[in-house]
Amino acid sequence: MKTITMNLKKSLLFAGGLLLAGQSLQAAGADDPIRTMLLMDKFEILDNDDNSREWEGSFYVGYDLDKLYIYSQGAATSDGLERSQNDLVYSRAIAPFWDIQAGIAYDKNSDASKTWGEIAIAGLAPYFFETRAALLLNGDGNVGLRLEGEYEALITQKLILTPSIEADFYTKDDPVMQIGSGLSAMEAGLRLRYEFVREFAPYIGVTWEKTFGNTRDFNPVDETSLLAGIRFWF
Amino acid sequence: MQRRTFIKGVAASSFMGIAATDLQAESPKRSSDKRRTLTGKEFFLDIDYTPVNITGKRSVATTINGQIPGPTLVWQEGDTVTIHVTNHLKKSSSIHWHGIILPYQMDGVPGISYKGIAPGETFTYRFKVRQHGTYWYHSHSGYQEQTGMYGAIVIKPRKREPFRYDKDYVVLLSDWSDEKPTSIYRKLKLSSDYYNFNRRTVGDFFSEVKKKGFGKAFDDRKMWNQMRMSDRDLSDVTGYTYTYLMNGQNPATQFKALFKKGEKIRLRFINGAAMSFFDVRIPGLKMTVVAADGNHIKPVRVDEFRIGVAETYDVIVEPTSNRAYAIFAQSIERSGYALGSLTPSASKLASAPKMDKPQALTMADMGMGMSKMGKDKGMKMPMKKSMKKYRWSAMEAEKYPITKLPIATGPQSTMKAMAPKYRLEDPGVGLRNNGRRVLTYADMKNRYSTRRAKKPDREIVLHLTGNMERYMWSINGIKYADAKPLVFHYGERLRITFINDTMMNHPMHLHGMWSDLETGDDNHLVRKHTIVVQPGAKISYRVTVDAKGGWAYHCHLLYHMAGMFRKVEVV
Ligand SMILES: [Cu+2]
């Protein structure tokens, strides 16, 4: 939890700095003023053995077509950080619904870390699927592919059900990072949130996580957990 | 606090000698004349911040003479009017005379007509009034219009008008938000459906499944889903943040127009909203529309009309019983309304009728043409008739040489209307088959013959483009910042065709020159200053290029304007 707080503090500080910079540049009536957005999409406690806390969020600063993005997701228990995946990418719109992104990714677990070069495609697929596919390359020759997809189904105007799915693949084993070649891990979730206002929505949900192949040998996971959390942005 | 009034010097207005001399002669005094209506040849307007309480919360408005709306200016056709506008704000301001034919230096668009009015300065407008009817004025700087800077203009005619009335009221509709406009705009950029609380739900889908079966229901959604568009996307900003006003009054305090039974009342409707289209009716009364955008049209008796942002319509009503009638203007997405009372006594107020349910957009609104539309049972539009009647328009397109303009594809534009149609007889989404007689552009005919008007020399085609997902707006896929000015040639007659490649109504406004709308009858082209282009539709009008200089040409929705804008250079 401490690490999360620290991480959050750091990113808030960064966000705050850019926010101020952004507003001073913002002229009234400007077509494309610089703007920032911090979205904490998931910020939750799981009802599993170690009551892990998980987060997934993004921050951007930029314009209609060009943005600088920070993505961060991970989990922590009372013993500290379990794992996190972080990305810093420059994002450029290439089509009405699609951005191409390039930058670096930084993975961390309790006792090791790994940095990747990253190229990704993010955007809204037909049928309103919010998607992101990232290709990761590391100096040691390992190649990773991380896929994410999410859908928002409106039960009412404020009650929103969000199924999501994530899958990670790698070409090589990396025991220190607890990843194995092939399909390494999958996570599927279903979250039901209530938007008191657009910017603030508590939710409950269920998530299923599983590791596969060699990853299973390093880090066997197969669990379904109930969860509660809040989603917010500003 | 003592404010000093600075008089604009000769150097600062070197491009307009008249104003400078006049200023010295007149020495404008700080007037802050709080009368609702100002009449005469010389006017003093003060732009300032004013604390207001419109929704129950304290807020600050940008006002003219301390009031919302600004004073109604009554001019006489043929007069030369002089208007001293003093800017007491801390930032640059401006006033544009919407729909008024005048020299471009008097048009009041910063960066095109002049530099704007700097803080503390007075700018003097002076021009001859060459028209009559109902118009309005507003700020053309930043988002000042949204925060209160607008007012009505009534120009009395030199000759008697071809209709009678006993009383005359301005009905100025607008939208107010306690939120800062920059905050509204930012929210739209972060999440374009932020203000839409009529989005499609899972329940909507299941009720369709129940009605038509899963396969059919899924099929009907397919196109929308593939295009990642919502058929519920009727308005960007809604009653979630807006309070709709009639002459500055909210629906609780109500604007009151008094009548005596048997009188003919002229109501001059002006849509001075930043973002809201209104559907206007007076339940229990027929309205006879006698003028559009200040110009007489052949009278049309209707139950209801849609008024796009910046349009004006004059109607005459004749209340038959001694009761209060509701002047009811519901916003296009039905999230709220402006309300006033047409009443025999100020103590008798009308109550609002029930708002209509919002309708969804159709395939036609996506510019998908007829065959696809036919499949959608929810929609019966008078399309066949309209097709027949406007087939000539399609042919017309080939009659004039088309000047090719740059066009770009890319992230700016999410959609292309594949088969855009002239839909002048289509009252538009929300008004189709509502059982009431609704005014359409096809109903409007100029009161005076336009038979002798010159035929167009050439045509230009402009696509209205946008990306709702990113909240970006442009013309021909190119936003204003990246666009070259449009060049019109002095003396030519131009045919302009708009194709709307988006799912929103855009009220397009050309400054300085009239837009003669083609409604299917060349003898009666309708003279307007603002033309609403329906989603997925096509519309044509003619412009006699009779005013030299630089002019603004743009969508009048405030949060579309920055991108959906062109400078016009008449050379
Ligand atoms: Cu527009």
What is the CA(B558)–ligand 1 centre distance, in A? Answer: 8
Q: What is the pLDDT of residues B476-495, one digit of tens each?
A: 999 999 999 999 999 999 99
User: Which residues make beta-bridge pairs with B485?
Assistant: none
Q: In whole angstroms, what is the distance from residue B406 CA to residue A34 CA?
A: 27
Which of A17-26, A138-147, B23-32 bottoms out in mean pLDDT, i.e. has the lowest? Answer: A17-26
Report the pLDDT value the prediction gives residue B187, as an integer from 0 to 100.
98
A64: closest chain B residue by CA: B470
3-state secondary structure of B352: coil
DSSP summary character for residue B432 = T
Q: In whole angstroms, what is the distance from residue B22 CA to residue B42 CA?
A: 11
CB B135 within 8 A of CB B100: yes
Contact A198 B191 (CB under 8 A): yes
- Largest separation between any pair of C-alpha atoms in chain A: 58
Report the pLDDT value the prediction gives residue B367, as an integer from 0 to 100.
86
**Looking at beta carbons, which residues of chain A come within 8 Å of B411?**
64-65, 93-96
A61: closest chain B residue by CA: B190
Helices (H), chain A: 2-25, 213-218
Sign, CA dihedral B395-B398-B402-B408, equals positive
Report the pLDDT value the prediction gives residue B366, as an integer from 0 to 100.
86
Mean pLDDT across B135-156: 97
Query: Which of A40, A64, A100 is the best residue to mutate to test the B interface, defined by the most B CB atoms within 10 Å of its own CB?
Result: A64
Q: In whole angstroms, what is the distance from residue A212 CA to residue A206 CA?
A: 20
Q: Give how far A227 is from chain B: nearest CA, Å.
A: 23
Contact A33 B225 (CB under 8 A): no
Give the CA count within 13 Å in the CB-facing half-sphere of B462.
Answer: 24
Average pLDDT along chain B: 89
The type of residue at A132 is R
Nearest to A32 by CA among B236, B268, B15, B479: B479
Q: In whole angstroms, what is the distance from residue B2 CA to residue B7 CA?
A: 16
Q: What value does the CA radius of gyration of chain B take, rounded to a whole number of Å?
A: 23
DSSP strand E in B248-407: where? 255-258, 265-271, 278-281, 287-292, 295-302, 304-307, 312-317, 325-331, 337-343
Q: In whole angstroms, what is the distance from residue B84 CA to residue A13 CA?
A: 49
Contact B197 A97 (CB under 8 A): no
In the predicted structure, residue A14 carries a pLDDT above the cut 60: no
Contact B411 A33 (CB under 8 A): no
Helices B202-212 + B214-227 axis angle, to 10: 140
In the predicted structure, residue B19 carries a pLDDT above the cut 90: no
Q: In whole angstroms, what is the distance from residue A27 CA to residue B111 CA?
A: 15
Mean pLDDT across B123-147: 97
Question: Which residue in the set A26, A37, A153 is minimally distant from B190, CB to CB?
Answer: A37
Q: Which two tokens stand for residue B203?
A: 């329940």
Q: Give how far A136 is from chain B: nearest CA, Å.
A: 26
Q: In whole angstroms, what is the distance from residue B46 CA to residue B29 CA?
A: 10
Report the pLDDT value the prediction gives residue B140, as an integer from 0 to 100.
96
pTM for the full predicted model: 0.89
Cα B551 to the chain's mean position, in Å?
17
Report the pLDDT value the prediction gives residue B31, as an integer from 0 to 100.
55
Report the pLDDT value the prediction gives residue B397, as an integer from 0 to 100.
52
B63 or B222, higher pLDDT: B63
Q: What is the pLDDT of residues B431-485, one digit of tens each?
A: 999 999 999 999 999 999 999 999 999 999 999 999 999 999 999 999 999 999 9
**Looking at beta carbons, which residues of chain A come within 8 Å of B62?**
none
The position carrying tokens 């960007």 is B236
Report the pLDDT value the prediction gives residue A79, as an integer from 0 to 100.
86
Report the pLDDT value the prediction gives residue A96, as an integer from 0 to 100.
95
CB B85 within 8 A of CB B92: no
In angstroms, the Cα distances linking B158 to B76, B78, B450, B566 are 7, 7, 21, 34
* Omega before residue B69 within 30° of 0, cis: yes
Q: In whole angstroms, what is the distance from residue B540 CA to residue B16 CA?
A: 35
In the predicted structure, residue B415 carries a pLDDT above the cut 90: no
In the predicted structure, residue B192 carries a pLDDT above the cut 90: yes
The type of residue at B356 is D
DSSP assignment string, A170-205: ESS-BGGGTB-SEEEEEEEEEEEEE-SBTTEEEEEE
The burial class, CB within 10 Å (0-12 / 13-18 / 19+), for B535 is buried
Q: What are phi and psi of B371, to 5 degrees?
A: -60, -45
Q: In whole angstroms, what is the distance from residue A126 CA to residue B79 CA?
A: 59
Mean pLDDT across B94-118: 96
Q: Give how far A20 is from chain B: nearest CA, Å.
A: 15
Task: Using DSSP bridges, classify how beta strands B133-138 and A112-125 pair: parallel, antiparallel or unpaired.
Answer: unpaired
Which residues fall within 8 angstroms of residue B11, CB to CB, at 6 or more apart? none
Give the CA count within 13 Å in the CB-facing half-sphere of B118.
Answer: 8
Give the CA count within 13 Å in the CB-facing half-sphere of A2.
Answer: 4
Q: In whole angstroms, what is the distance from residue B315 CA to residue A8 CA?
A: 60
What is the CA(B497)–ligand 1 centre distance, in A? Answer: 16
DSSP summary character for residue B143 = T
Q: Give how far A5 is from chain B: nearest CA, Å.
A: 26
What is the CA(B130)–ligand 1 centre distance, in A? Answer: 29
Q: What is the pLDDT of residues A160-183, one digit of tens each?
A: 999 999 999 999 999 999 999 999
Q: Which two tokens stand for residue A160?
A: 């929103």
What is the CA(B564)–ligand 1 centre distance, in A? Answer: 7
CB B306 within 8 A of CB B431: yes
The position carrying tokens 């740059």 is B406
**Looking at beta carbons, which residues of chain A come within 8 Å of B200?**
154
The type of residue at B414 is T
Query: Which of A25, A31, A37, A129 is the best residue to mutate to test the B interface, defined by the most B CB atoms within 10 Å of its own CB?
Result: A31
Contact B227 A33 (CB under 8 A): no
B187: closest chain A residue by CA: A234
Q: In whole angstroms, what is the distance from residue B256 CA to residue B546 CA?
A: 41
Q: What is the pLDDT of residues A110-123, one digit of tens each?
A: 889 999 999 999 99
Q: Please report which confidence band the pLDDT of residue A2 belongs to, taking 50, 70 and 90 as the band edges.
A: very low
Nearest to B528 by CA among B519, B537, B520, B536: B519
What is the CA(B399)–ligand 1 centre distance, in A? Answer: 29
User: Which residues make beta-bridge pairs with B168?
Assistant: B266
Q: Which two tokens stand for residue B29?
A: 């005094």
What is the CA(B246)–ligand 1 centre distance, in A? Answer: 23
Task: Using DSSP bridges, classify how beta strands B537-544 and B421-422 pair: parallel, antiparallel or unpaired.
Answer: parallel
Q: What is the pLDDT of residues B533-571, one digit of tens each?
A: 999 999 999 999 999 999 999 999 999 999 999 999 999
Q: What is the pLDDT of residues B255-272, one digit of tens each?
A: 999 999 999 999 999 999
Mean pLDDT across A216-221: 92
Average pLDDT along chain A: 89
Q: In whole angstroms, what is the distance from residue B312 CA to residue B470 CA?
A: 31
Q: What is the pLDDT of residues B375-414, one digit of tens each?
A: 443 344 444 444 445 444 554 556 899 999 999 999 999 9
With a pLDDT cut of 90, the percent of chain B lying above it is 82
Q: Give how far B87 is from chain A: nearest CA, Å.
A: 17
CB B197 within 8 A of CB B482: no
Q: In whole angstroms, what is the distance from residue B413 CA to residue B463 CA?
A: 10
Q: In whole angstroms, what is the distance from residue B350 CA to residue B174 CA?
A: 20
Q: What is the pLDDT of residues A41-55, one digit of tens each?
A: 999 999 988 899 999
In the predicted structure, residue A204 carries a pLDDT above the cut 50: yes
CB B466 within 8 A of CB B413: yes
What is the CA(B9)–ligand 1 centre distance, in A? Answer: 37
**Interface residue ranges in chain A relative to chain B, Cβ cutoff 8 Å:** 26-33, 35, 37, 64-65, 93-97, 124-128, 153-157, 161, 198, 233
A30 or B300, higher pLDDT: B300
What is the CA(B362)–ligand 1 centre distance, in A? Answer: 19
CA angle B410, B414, B419 (to 5 degrees): 110
Q: In whole angstroms, what is the distance from residue B149 CA to residue B138 CA?
A: 6
Question: Which residue in the set B191, B202, B227 is minimally distant from A153, CB to CB?
Answer: B202
User: Which residues make beta-bridge pairs with A40?
Assistant: A57, A232
Q: In whole angstroms, what is the distance from residue B217 CA to residue B208 CA?
A: 6
